[in-house]
Amino acid sequence: MSILTSTKRVLGWFRPYWRRRWTGILIVVGITILSIALSTSYPVIFKYVIDALSAGEETTDVRFFVWMILIVGLARTIARWILPSMRYIMNLTLGKDIKLHHFQNLLQKDPAFYNNFRSGDLITRFSDDIDGDLKLSWFANSGIMRPVEASFTLLFSIGVMMTLHWKLTLLAISPLPFIVWIMSKTEQLQYRAYTHRQETISSTNNILESAFSGIRIVIGFVMEKAQERLFKENMESRKNAEERVVFLRSILEGIGGLVNQVGLVIILFVGGYYVINQQISLGDFYAFIAYMTGITEPIWTISWFFVSLKLAETSVDRLQEIERSENRPRKTATMEMPFQQLNIHDLSFNFPDDEKAVIQQVTFSALPGEKVGIVGEVGSGKTVLLKLISGWFAPTDGSIDLNGQNLADFSDTTRAGNIAYVPQDIGLFSGTISDNITMGRQGKRSLEAVTHAAVIDDELDPEKMLEQGGVGLSGGQKARVALARAFYGQTPVYIFDDVTSALDLNTEKILWRNINADYADALFLVATHREATAAEMDRVVWINQGQIFKEGNHVDLLRDNPDYRSLFAHE
């Protein structure tokens, strides 16, 4: 991809963020123009002072230019202090906008998206790719405005130099095209180096996230050495990737500095010859040296733009990879009347690239006030079935209807307001227990009522602080916090995926007693391997290899089917 194409692509990606912050961008542009004018006019004023002194002009005329030097120098100093501050503020602002936009987009992704992107990798994309050294938040403003300032400074300086002596100017700037040629030739090399570095950073975060989230398993199975070896191999790979980037940057930076020094040497030798032969004045000679010394940074800034462009393009690619992933369909249907019936008709599902269906033509109905158990062997499809009914998965064939309306047509808000799903893997977050229950929602029931229903009111303080994942709570306590979270929404349908297996029998009895008292009108769909749970159900749907094998009362199924009894034989 050419530099021009890369530039258009990256700048096009930033355009929506610039539109939103155009006022701040204009302020930075205005201060930049002022800074350029002050910086490039300074050597010209100094030239007049030197020429005036060399010519023996009156002190009054010289004093005027000295005062001009003082005023312009002071203004230039102030502008150079304000400009980086304003750029930094805009970097932070644009970085915040990028993060908020992509985080909002991330929350709209289909659940299958998270099977392809590990959390450590996503954290890297939302942290290092945006906030890292010379990454997107920096490039969004400083990365663009600095080379713009450098380009105009360079053009103005060369313009002034041309008016002083065009032959000397052309000789001095003759090495500059060499920098552009070097940058164009190393473009793909830079892109591969920076992409590989970001991949190793993502890999590092993935390893750390996995190790810390499962640290008890690591310690319990004495896997410390294996984890240490894995991390060491990753860090060696990352070190090599970082060294390659540093090597490229140092080479390019060195070339930029060398080219500028060549131009300066030309001025010293050729310009000195012109002064001796009185072809240019001493003031002109000083101005040439000042401008050539002053364009060292602009030359480097412009040449570094192409390098930072590849850095930004790498990070843009990584965020666009997330953008291209399919979002959940945005549905708008609402349920006009209270929940009356759940109908599942010819429901089938298979994972992408998997020909065998996990769920095959499942059909049954359920009514408010019922407790329906979903029972079957491990791997029979119970969890997938519940995820389909909850709306987490989209069926391959068939339909799930609430009050005769297809669940797939409901808005996310309507679906969440009618179905509460508690999965096997309990997700708890850093914060208090009450925070984990309310999740920022305005509940239809009080916190005291739901903690009582979930049997945690006498055991856990709602203001107890939890670490990520609920570290410090037992499996049963985590399950009951998740149940309280579901109860807080006061939905008409509750789906529990083998959650009660983490509870002791006495606690489970109290839980179902509370449910029967407080949620008698709600529908409960409960996957379970536990006979005590199945016994609480009004009826049981027996799943075998993704199909309904039998349906009926638990006691009847237990009496008439040895295979059904064997499902609970381990208890």
Residue type, 195: T
Rounded distance, CA 247 to CA 190, Å?
Answer: 10
The full 3-state SS of 370-439, as one line of letters, equals CEEEEEECCCCCHHHHHHHHHCCCCCCEEEEEECCEEHHHECHHHHHHHEEEECCCCCCCCEEHHHHHHC
Contact 349, 359 (CB under 8 A): yes
Quote the pLDDT of residue 76. 84
Answer left, alpha or beta for residue 461, where phi above 0 means left and psi between -120 and 50 means alpha. Answer: beta
- For position 419, which CATH number holds? 3.40.50.300
Of 324, 357, 386, which one is at a domain's C-terminal end? 324
Instruction: Please indicate, yes or no, if residue 334 is contained in any of the structural domains.
Output: no
The size of the chain, in residues, is 571
Q: Domain check: are 66 and 133 in the same one? A: yes
Of residues 246, 242, 137, the one with CA closest to residue 199: 242
Indicate whether 222 belongs to any domain. yes
Q: Which residue in 354, 432, 371, 358 sits closest to 398, CA to CA?
A: 358
Asked if 367 and 275 sit in the same domain, the reply is: no
Using an 8 Å Cβ cutoff, are 186 and 3 in contact? no
369 in the same domain as 258: no
407 and 270 co-located in one domain: no
Residue 547 belongs to what H/E stretch?
strand 547-552
- By the 10 Å C-beta count (0-12 exposed, 13-18 middle, 19+ buried), 249 is classed as middle
Q: How many beta carbons lie within 10 A of that of residue 487, not counting itself? A: 27
Q: Residue 66 in 3-state DSSP?
A: helix
- Please state the pTM of the whole predicted model: 0.67
Inside any domain, residue 67: yes
Token pair recorded at residue 225: 């050495």
Q: Looking at the structure, do residues 317 and 249 belong to the same domain, yes or no?
A: yes
**Domain match, 388 and 307 both:** no
| pLDDT at 570 (0 to 100) | 55
- The reported pLDDT for the residue numbered 368 is 93
**Token digits of residue 32:** 């930049």
- Domain-embedded: residue 210: yes
| 30, 154: one domain | yes
Residue 426, in any domain of the structure: yes
Q: How many domains, in total, are found in the chain? A: 2
To which residue do tokens 């942290």 refer? Answer: 127
- Tell me the residue range of the domain where 465 lies: 342-566
21 and 80 fall within a common domain: yes
CATH number, position 301: 1.20.1560.10
Amino acid, res. 560: D
Divide the 571 residues of the chain into consecutive groups of 10 and give the mean pLDDT of each group.
Answer: 76 91 92 87 79 67 76 85 91 91 83 74 82 82 88 85 82 73 69 79 78 68 78 87 82 71 76 82 82 74 76 85 77 81 92 82 92 91 91 88 89 88 86 87 84 88 80 86 91 92 91 93 93 92 91 90 82 49
* Domain assignment present for 371: yes
